[in-house]
Amino acid sequence: MTIEDQQAGTGWDEIDLADRNLVRGGAEWNSELYRIATTQFDKAADILDLDQEARARLREPRRCLTVNFPVRMDDGRVCNFTGYRVQHTLTMGPTKGGIRFAPGVSEGECAALAVWMTWKCALLGLPYGGAKGGVRCDPNHLSDDELERITRRYASELIPIIGPDRDIPAPDMGTGEREMAWFYDTYSQMMGHAVPEIVTGKPPVLGGTEARKAATGLGVVYVAEAVGERTGHPLREQRVVVQGFGNVGGTAALELHAIGAKVVAVSDYTGGIRADDGLDVPAVHAWVEEHRTLEGCPLGDPVGRAEVLEVPCDMLIPAALERQITEDNAKRLDCKTIVEAANGPTTPEAEAILAERGILVVPDVLANAGGVTVSYFEWVQDQQKYLWDLIEIQERLRRLLRGAFSQVAETATELGVDWRTAALSVAVKRVAEAARWRAIYP
């Protein structure tokens, strides 16, 4: 189909569904992660027999703002940084998604992560479309002052497209409560009054919610518990490996330890440690609090950054970054279940190998949805100026995640598909239906 055909509104009938290039549009989102996100979407869309119009509307992000801005470094030099904010769909309400500070941040990476946010919110029934943003930088090599200047300038650059009813950022890799506080303050300074509902994941004293920091890791454990019940292997009897010991992985490991599961290996970007009898996770956590990384941690035997994924266990929880389980290592993994705490840790090629080997993959859009769910609670509380207590938040989180879990497991059985395709089918169907009702403007 030519551009002229598209503009004239003709030619859709000629689209060959097998030739994805015809509906791919521009190459602006191109990245390995976006390829993975669209491969997963196509699979669910095929299962749903989604019509061409809906596919075209949902397959690509609606908006992307690219910003490039100068920041004065501590030594007086000025460095330019590039940042993005991608909004996938505006159909479901305001958009919602994290902000990532990492060296690999790109438009294509943000696009894929925004798409996943849409499915995650739709699966949990949250009134948001997906968004994601970030700044290409290495927070490990920036001072606190430099990070503050980057965060504040990036926040001010995003003003044209964000707002409590437009797009609400949250933490992701490399950002946390502190960055959200700076973001909130910058936005509020520019508006002339406090707007706590502009970001979630803020410190509780600023209108954040007690449970948000731990929510993603806690949610991972709630979902892992439900998997254990369904497979007849209670979580407390399982041996677990956790890759990544940051906000999500660190919290999940602590929680797993607390309920009696054996955490036999953990890792971060410097490497990992293992102990076949189970690590003393609170002690490891205290070590990382003090030393920032696991490097040199004497509380287990050292294990390489890549090898940690192959340590024998019942449950593997990738909680670091994307594309960790690939066709290169999928054959060697020694686990029964993978619970995806990170976004996009498994490539489609690896997933095919894992399916053949009978390894159950619990997809990211379900497993790590605890973060955005509690973010939603925080946003609701900020808007109502009425705070819920911790027990209420945890109970609501558990109930929503368990509800989504049952839907995914039942859909997988009903359709005879893997859990990711089942989760995406539920989500894509909801968003497609909403888009159909809202129709096309004008």
- CA–CA distances in Å: residue 306 to residues 187, 302, 311, 349, 397: 40, 12, 10, 18, 33
- Under rule CB under 6 A, how many of the chain's residues touch ligand NAD? 24
For residue 323, state whether it binds ligand NAD (rule: CB under 6 A): no
342 is a site residue for ligand NAD (CB under 6 A): yes
Q: Give, in degrees to the nearest 5, the angle at Cα 389 between 185 and 230.
A: 110
Residue 258 backbone zone (phi > 0: left; psi -120 to 50: alpha; other: beta): alpha
132 is catalytic: yes
> Is the Cβ of residue 366 or residue 422 nearer to ligand NAD in the bound state?
366
Q: With binding defined as CB under 6 A, does residue 223 bind ligand NAD?
A: no
- Which residue in 37, 114, 265, 320 binds ligand NAD (CB under 6 A)? 320
245-278 core/surface letters (b: 16 or more CB in 10 A; e: else): bbbbbbbbbbbbbeeebbbbbbbbeebbbbbeeb
What proportions of the chain, in percent to the nearest 5, are helix, strand and coil?
Answer: 50, 15, 35
Cβ-closest position to ligand NAD: 246
- Using CB under 6 A as the binding rule, whether residue 371 contacts ligand NAD is answered as yes
> Per rule CB under 6 A, is residue 183 in the interface with ligand NAD?
no
Query: Minimal distance in Å, beta carbon 101 to ligand NAD?
Result: 8
Question: Could you tell me which stretch among 52-60, 339-347, 387-395, 408-416 binds ligand NAD (CB under 6 A)?
Answer: 339-347
Stretch that binds ligand NAD, among 15-23, 29-37, 161-169, 170-178 (CB under 6 A): 170-178
Backbone torsion region of residue 241, taken as left when φ is above 0, otherwise alpha when ψ lies between -120 and 50, otherwise beta: beta
Specify the residue, 57 or 287, whose C-beta has the smaller distance to ligand NAD: 287
Structure tokens at 22: 């015809």
Question: Using the rule CB under 6 A, which residue among 343, 346, 373, 407 binds ligand NAD?
Answer: 343
**Rounded to the nearest whole angstrom, what is the least distance from the CB of residue 211 to ligand NAD in the complex?**
11
Q: Rule CB under 6 A: is residue 268 a binding residue for ligand NAD?
A: yes
132, 202, 213, 429: which is the annotated catalytic residue? Answer: 132
Site for ligand NAD, residues 61 to 120, rule: CB under 6 A: none
Distance between alpha carbon 34 and the CA centroid of its chain, in Å?
14
Shortest Å distance, C-beta 118 to ligand NAD: 14
173 interacts with ligand NAD by CB under 6 A: yes
Among 247, 346, 347, 421, binds ligand NAD (CB under 6 A): 247
3-state secondary structure of 87: strand
Structure token pair of residue 49? 């027999």
196 binds ligand NAD (CB under 6 A): no
Residue 206's nearest CA partner among 184, 227, 221, 225 is: 184
Q: What DSSP state is assigned to residue 78? A: E
- Helix 212-231 to helix 370-384 angle, to the nearest 10 degrees? 140
Instruction: Say if CB 207 and CB 185 are below 8 A apart.
Output: no
Binding site for ligand NAD (CB under 6 A): 171-174, 216, 243-249, 267-269, 305, 319-321, 341-343, 368, 371
